[in-house]
Amino acid sequence: DGGITQSPKYLFRKEGQNVTLSCEQNLNHDAMYWYRQDPGQGLRLIYYSQIVNDFQKGDIAEGYSVSREKKESFPLTVTSAQKNPTAFYLCASKVSMRIMNTEAFFGQGTRLTVV
């Protein structure tokens, strides 16, 4: 079945460590996104990528980094510079940002906890 896979589902990090969240899609989508979700704040865009080898900062990119070396993969690294990384992280993809009348497909999320 086609879809988006995020791993791991739960992740624990010690303060000062970098961690990488995986996001893989087999939908052949060009656009991919990372969102952060905190209680009562909805979804906030961290980074997005319109195409391979290209990515742009979203609204809350500080303390995060991404890469897009392959079409199907868009990993997110939460660096030690992110002051409050405990949150639920969602990855999404879309056929193309240039095609407006299509929806985004979401992964099942990764819950990151700093211990």
Partner 1 sequence: AQSVTQPDIHITVSEGASLELRCNYSYGATPYLFWYVQSPGQGLQLLLKYFSGDTLVQGIKGFEAEFKRSQSSFNLRKPSVHWSDAAEYFCAVVQEYGQNFVFGPGTRLSVLP
Residues in touch with partner 1 (CB under 8 A): 4, 6, 33, 40-43, 45, 48, 50, 58, 88, 90, 92, 97-98, 100-101, 103-109, 111
Q: Which residues pair with 91 in a beta bridge?
A: 34
Task: Say how far apart CA 101 and CA 42 lie, in whole Å.
Answer: 22
Task: Say how far apart CA 115 and CA 103 lie, in whole Å.
Answer: 35
Task: Say how far apart CA 27 and CA 40 lie, in whole Å.
Answer: 30
Complex with partner 1: residue 27 or 43, whichever CB lies closer: 43
Q: How far is the CB of 12 from partner 1 (least distance, A)?
A: 16
Q: How far is the CB of 10 from partner 1 (least distance, A)?
A: 10
Q: How far is the CB of 85 from partner 1 (least distance, A)?
A: 18
